[in-house]
Amino acid sequence: MEEEDNIINNNSTVNQPRILTGTDDFKTLLLKSEVFVDKSLLIKEVIEDSASVILITRPRRWGKSLNMDMIEKFLAIEVDQQGNPLPQEQRINNKLFIGGEIDLGFGETKELKPLKIASHESSIKRQGQFPVISISFKDVKGGSYKEIEDGVKDQVTGLYERYKYLEQYNEEKSKLLSNSQKSKLKRYLDGDINKNNLKVSLRFLSEILYKHFGQKVYILIDEYDTPINNAYITFEDKLDKFKKITELFGGIFGSA
């Protein structure tokens, strides 16, 4: 009888749904997990909010990063290597929200169902229509001001590398940018930036993307407070160093 019970218990796990945990990648969650809580109406709230800046505060492990990635996937224009918007039939992000068949590779596909946001026509018309800047300061920590500033430089340099197609505007024949803007853009793309460059880095990138696409830019900043919280703990008895950290991030956030 005990052996029979064991067989029943083992078989009972065969049909359990596959649950993916610990990811903040929205697309991966949809494609690899069979359990998904649809929070897509958050996008509608963001789009319809009249504020220029929205601050989302929730406890750790509350899904902020995942929802931020969902918002980016919804808003962002999908482009080729030259920065040209992809034809509708080549876009993937749209199917994440309105449903459709996704190619998983190796001859496999997955059929996605429409999310709640798909029933809101005004919101869906805005899917994939905006340039989006997304940056996370999750890993920007350190035992000195220089370590933290270098961490920010790494994040900003990596951010600009995603937009390598903007190099075309540094060519002499291009008239989209002024000579000073071309010089500044080259420094960012080369990673040759100082503290003052860091402070205006998000604003400058948004200005160039606006010129490239002719459309407003969304800036998403994840873990914005991690470096400041880390610095507060590390430099609690060194007020001058802590002030340098708040000055740096105050400049970044303020200009953005």
Distance between CA atoms of 24 and 75, rounded to whole angstroms? 17
> Across all residues in the chain, what is the average pLDDT?
91
Lowest mean pLDDT among 15-19, 69-73, 226-230: 15-19
Q: Does residue 12 have a pLDDT over 60? A: no
pLDDT band at 11 (very low <50, low <70, confident <90, very high): low
* Per-residue b or e along 209-230, where b marks 16 or more CB atoms closer than 10 Å to that residue's CB: beebbeeebbbbbbbbeebbeb
Does the reported pTM lie above 0.75?
yes
pLDDT tens string 169-205 = 999 899 999 999 999 999 999 999 999 999 999 999 9
143 pLDDT above the threshold of 90: no
The CA radius of gyration of the chain, in Å to the nearest whole number, is 22
When comparing pLDDT for 210 and 104, which is higher?
210
125 by DSSP, 3-state: which? coil
Query: What is the average pLDDT across 100-125?
Result: 94
